[in-house]
Amino acid sequence: MVVKPLTGNYAAAYAAKLARVKVVAAYPITPQTTIVEKLAQFIDNGEMDAEMIRVESEHSALAAAYGAASGGVRAFTATSSHGLLYMHEMVWWVAGARVPLVMVIVTRTIGPPWNIWSDHSDLMDQRDSGWIIMMAEHNQEVLDETIKMFKITEDPRVFLPGMVGLDAFILSHTTEPVDLPGQELVDSFLPPRRQPYIMKAGDPILMGNVPRDLHDNMRMREDIHKSLEEAKKVIQEVDEEWYKLTGRRYGGLIECYRCEDADHFIIGMGAWVGDMREAADRLREKGIRVGVIKVRYVRPFPREELLKWLTNAKSVIVFDRGVSAGSAGQLFLDVAAHLMAAGVRVPVKNVLAGVTGLDVTYEDIADAVLKSVAEVEETGRFSTFIEWYYGR
């Protein structure tokens, strides 16, 4: 292992190289572009034995990567924002076909107006598709989780594609020291590729033909759901295996910070969880026992883990960097629904901050949490479940 200063994008590119990806199909879009630029460079200088397919759109990028993966090799692509939305039809297609594939998403808001900064609207727009979806906090996690995602997606209990998300610019273009594992270590971690079927000449298979019976079709949907539930166990196992090789583990679907004695919980995902940790430290200095739950995997949703921590909480504040307009933040909706379904009656509030890429500091988070906690301590509840927070 060697520690190398890497941007989030380069960490993703190194991970794809170390996973011995054989086909990369990509179309450039800011701020994802330097991932595939780096991969193109690896291929060009002979460091990586892979084909780079240049395509005319993101829809084709995922279609080409999917075609290669159907043919039996590890395939990779990366995109962002409007590119991901343009891919959306293929996103569902790959999950429905049950073809393991890894895609890195540099999360960026969606226009109009034209805007390149980070929020989670693009990633969260994919959450019903059947992909495994995770969000990284820092560049080390980008590298670790991209490598691990190949193992998770190719596990016979799962056989679904997976996305690794990282925040635009906050991670994608920011350099951090990253512990880069050696090729032998990654080779010992990743088994040869496994997938449910391989498309090859001389052994014809039809994929996606009109169903003879719609019961079969509905069973396919149910099987995707059940396989995502199965994936929870696989994600946990893979986290432990990686820990044994590298000394790094994150706790599976969620990662907790100062949760053990916490009264009030902050929930979030992505890079600003780092700021949430800082905010929790500051609030604890004021005597408010705050814990942070980082949602690492949003699909499958960490229902059991959250219930474990939140059942006896005094309050829960969910920070979303995206909103399901006309309802509430996507992460909040999942948290609130699963608490309610389990009969847990805890005051829950949604803070929408950083939507469209507005900068959010740890002071902002501490400020929003402090006000919310004060209300709950005084009245035992939140008078409003949703707050649009624009800063102090």
Partner 1 sequence: MNPHGKVLPISRPGPGVAGKTGTWRVMRPVYDPSKCVKCRLCWLYCPENVIDVNEGGERFISIDYDYCKGCGICSSVCPTGAIKMVPEGGA
The single residue among 17, 22, 38, 98 that binds partner 1, judged by CB under 8 A, is 98
Measured from the CB of residue 159, what is the shortest distance to partner 1 in angstroms? Answer: 6
- Look up residue 56 and give its DSSP letter: S
**Is residue 308 involved in binding partner 1 (CB under 8 A)?**
no
The single residue among 2, 201, 206, 214 that binds partner 1, judged by CB under 8 A, is 206
Measured from the CB of residue 200, what is the shortest distance to partner 1 in angstroms? Answer: 13
**Is residue 92 involved in binding partner 1 (CB under 8 A)?**
no
- Vertex 106: Cα angle to 27 and 389 (nearest 5): 140
**Is residue 191 involved in binding partner 1 (CB under 8 A)?**
no
**Is residue 156 involved in binding partner 1 (CB under 8 A)?**
yes
As to burial, measured by CB atoms within 10 angstroms (0-12 exposed, 13-18 middle, 19+ buried), residue 37 is middle
Q: Is the dihedral of CA 354, 358, 362, 363 positive or negative?
A: negative
- Residue 170, number of CB atoms within 10 A of its CB: 23
Query: CA 284, 286, 287, 290: dihedral to nearest 10 degrees?
Result: -30
Instruction: Sketch the per residue contact string, 332 through 371, with partner 1: x for CB under 8 A, - otherwise.
Output: ----------------------------------------
Measured from the CB of residue 253, what is the shortest distance to partner 1 in angstroms? Answer: 22
Of 40-48, 95-103, 163-171, 366-374, the segment contacting partner 1 by CB under 8 A is 95-103
What is the SS3 assignment for 280? helix
The single residue among 19, 25, 36, 97 that binds partner 1, judged by CB under 8 A, is 97
Measured from the CB of residue 130, what is the shortest distance to partner 1 in angstroms? Answer: 12
Q: Which residues have CB under 8 Å from 239's CB, separation 6+?
A: 148, 249, 250, 251, 252
Note whether 24 and 52 are within 8 A (CB). yes
Q: How far apart are CA 321 and CA 299, in angstroms?
A: 17
Residue whose CB is less far from partner 1, 222 or 260: 222
Residue whose CB is less far from partner 1, 93 or 319: 93
**Is residue 222 involved in binding partner 1 (CB under 8 A)?**
yes
Note whether 382 and 349 are within 8 A (CB). yes
Query: Which single residue is written with the structure tokens 């949490």?
Result: 369
Token pair recorded at residue 164: 């690794």
The single residue among 205, 245, 341, 374 that binds partner 1, judged by CB under 8 A, is 205
Residue whose CB is less far from partner 1, 197 or 243: 197
**Is residue 213 involved in binding partner 1 (CB under 8 A)?**
no
**Is residue 184 involved in binding partner 1 (CB under 8 A)?**
no
**Is residue 214 involved in binding partner 1 (CB under 8 A)?**
no
Residue whose CB is less far from partner 1, 192 or 204: 204
Q: How far apart are CA 173 and CA 351, in angstroms?
A: 26
Q: How far apart are CA 339 and CA 332, in angstroms?
A: 11
Q: Residue 64 corresponds to which amino acid?
A: A
**Is residue 227 involved in binding partner 1 (CB under 8 A)?**
yes
DSSP string, 283-330: HHHTT--EEEEEE-EEES--HHHHHHHHTT-SEEEEEESS--TTS--H
**Is residue 207 involved in binding partner 1 (CB under 8 A)?**
yes
**Is residue 380 involved in binding partner 1 (CB under 8 A)?**
no
**Is residue 383 involved in binding partner 1 (CB under 8 A)?**
no
**Is residue 67 involved in binding partner 1 (CB under 8 A)?**
no
List of residues contacting partner 1 (CB under 8 A): 96-98, 156, 159, 196-197, 204-209, 211, 216-217, 219-220, 222-223, 227
